[in-house]
Structure 1
């Protein structure tokens, strides 16, 4: 099991920098931040842009994976964004982990674009992933899709698609199957529930869909990331709860888990002492 931690971009770089360095020193395999214009959890907070923040984190770290959790088509065009991906892959020396998802509220309304149905949002996301993949692997790209167009989009540094894993987010069956077919990895937040047992049950149902789809592709295996920060209980409430949740993720076949950096207030309120205790004993010692 590999362990990741998510550091919200609600701080100045002076405040945030020590956390990225400490995440690597603690032994985390990857560290993440959110990619939003506005996040509903902290709508009035200071909020930093994802790619510049990860670029800065890449400069002050050496080995830890650096993830965007998750990029969506709500305010990005795949051709333009591909240039940012190429650059960050270079700055991070191939440590960039690109989470991609349909996206949610309130980012979907910030640009004043027409409201889409759930089905249309998934259609747009799948087109986004396909065109982004092309712009990272092919030169002189033209595209005329229902949602995105491109004319003679050039590669900036040569093909980099094989250096940037696509972690496709999905909770519902359609998105989970898409991740199984086209992703380098799958990431899920589970369904919104009130109890931890119900949440893990929703995750188990999604795993079953993934396994069914992968079963149609003999020999194909992809990594599986579970965002424990999306659970109805914070995994950093205690060391015992952390162990329990990571153990349950392992039983479901997940290769990676992600926990939130503790904050003094909600969301993700928890004691830093728990995180320190988990890291001090070694992250590899969880069940």
Structure 2
């Protein structure tokens, strides 16, 4: 199992670069950031762009993987996103993972839409995602792409020289529904979940484990349908959205990680501590988790 972190893009780079370097020094496998225009309780404070932040982080670090967790079609177009990602993969010398999901309503989901337009329904989000992921796959893998679709067009979109990572940088597809699971099975090198959102506030840890186990079973069925072995797909748990407080202590996190390792997860992602926020955490506990927790699972 690998341990990674999410660093929110809320710090001016003079301070932010120190955090990304510290994450590498602590030994995290990867550091991700959220790709939003604004997010939840942070929406009225500083919030910087994901791609420029990751580009700067690529220059400030040496070997740690970097990525989004996650990018969505809410305000991205596959053609321009592909160009940015190819550049980012080059700057990082092939250390980028694209976390990608269908997105949700609220926060920045309607920023680019008219004030009288309704947010996309879940079906509409899934429809966009169904076209977005395969087209982005092609754009990152082929030197020239033409596509006329329901939502997106590409007219001889050139992406030369392509990604450093071949045939393209890896996709970590966030999905819990059947359509997203099928996309993960067909296009993903990893699958991402935050657990069952219906259980976050009122559920129990046991119910959460059972629900996530069900998600993995459905992922297995989607992989079988796609003619793929689910064991070859990395499984990433973004923590912080399941019942309980697994980061309240070192021992609590070891138990949490061990339980999800037994479910088949290959990577757990924890949020970098941010004081006076939902991600507040004792720095000493966090550093011990980063440096010692996984050794307790062997």
Which of the five TM-score ranges fits, normalised by the shorter chain?
A: over 0.9
Task: Tell me how far 1:279 sits from its aligned partner.
Answer: 3.3
Runs of 4+ in structure 1 deviating by more than 6 angstroms, as ranges, are none
Tell me the SS of whatever aligns to 1:244. helix
- In the alignment, the residues of structure 1 paired with residue 168 and residue 95 of structure 2 have an alpha-carbon distance, to the nearest angstrom, of 8
Partners of 1:102 and 1:122 within 8 A in 2:
yes
Q: Summarize deviations over 1:137-162 as a string: whole Å, max 9, x none.
A: 12332111111011110113235552
Residue 279 of structure 1, aligned match among 273, 284, 290: 290
Please give the TM-score of this superposition, normalised by the length of structure 2: 0.91
Task: Tell me how far 1:163 sits from its aligned partner.
Answer: 4.0
Tell me the SS of whatever aligns to 1:141. strand
Question: What stretches of structure 2 of length at least 5 have no aligned partner?
Answer: none
Residue 175 of structure 2, aligned match among 170, 174, 190: 170
- In the alignment, the residues of structure 2 paired with residue 155 and residue 178 of structure 1 have an alpha-carbon distance, to the nearest angstrom, of 23
Which residue number corresponds to residue 109 of structure 1? 110
Task: Tell me how far 1:40 sits from its aligned partner.
Answer: 1.6
Partners of 2:254 and 2:293 within 8 A in 1:
no
Tell me the SS of whatever aligns to 2:240. helix
Q: Summarize deviations over 1:193-228 as a string: whole Å, max 9, x none.
A: 133222222211111101222234254521110111
- In the alignment, the residues of structure 1 paired with residue 37 and residue 43 of structure 2 have an alpha-carbon distance, to the nearest angstrom, of 10
**CA-atom RMSD in angstroms:** 1.7
> Given the superposition, is the C-alpha separation of residues 68 and 159 from structure 1 closer, same or farther in structure 2, using an over 3 Å criterion?
closer
Tell me the SS of whatever aligns to 1:107. coil
Number of matched pairs = 287
Tell me the SS of whatever aligns to 1:225. strand
Task: Tell me how far 1:256 sits from its aligned partner.
Answer: 0.6
Which residue number corresponds to residue 61 of structure 1? 61
Please give the TM-score of this superposition, normalised by the length of structure 1: 0.94
